[in-house]
Amino acid sequence: MSRAEEAMTGRERMLATLRFEEPDRPPHFEVMFELEREAFGLEFPDRRAWAGCATAEKERMIAQCMEVYVRIVERYQWDALVVFWPWCDPDGIAAAKRTFGDSILIGGVVGGGTLSIEGTSDWMQFAVDLMDHPERVREQAAERERRATASIAPLIDAGADFIHMVNDIAFNDGPFISPAQFAEFITPYLQRQVQYVWDRGAIPFVHTDGNIMPILDDYLSLGAACFQSVDPMAGMDIAEMKQRCHGKMALMGNVQCSLLQDGPKKAIRESARYCLEHGTPGGGYVFGTSNTIFPGMPLENYEYMLDVYREFCGT
The residue segments making up the domain with residue 31 are 3-313
One digit per residue, the tens of pLDDT, for the chain of length 315 reads: 334 446 899 999 999 999 999 999 999 999 999 999 999 999 999 999 999 899 999 999 999 999 999 999 999 999 999 999 999 999 999 999 999 999 999 999 999 999 999 999 999 999 999 999 999 999 999 999 999 999 999 999 999 999 999 999 999 999 999 999 999 999 999 999 999 999 999 999 999 999 999 999 999 999 999 999 999 999 999 999 999 999 999 999 999 999 999 999 999 999 999 999 999 999 999 999 999 999 999 999 999 999 999 999 998
Cα–Cα dist 133/126, whole Å? 9
CB of 175 closer than 8 Å to CB of 169: yes
> What pLDDT score does 224 carry?
98
- 3 state DSSP class of 188: helix
The CATH number assigned to the domain holding 273 equals 3.20.20.210
> What pLDDT score does 4 carry?
42
Number of domains in the chain: 1
Cα–Cα dist 266/217, whole Å? 34
Q: pTM for the complete prediction?
A: 0.96
> What pLDDT score does 2 carry?
36
- 3 state DSSP class of 15: helix
> What pLDDT score does 6 carry?
67
CA R_g for the chain: 19
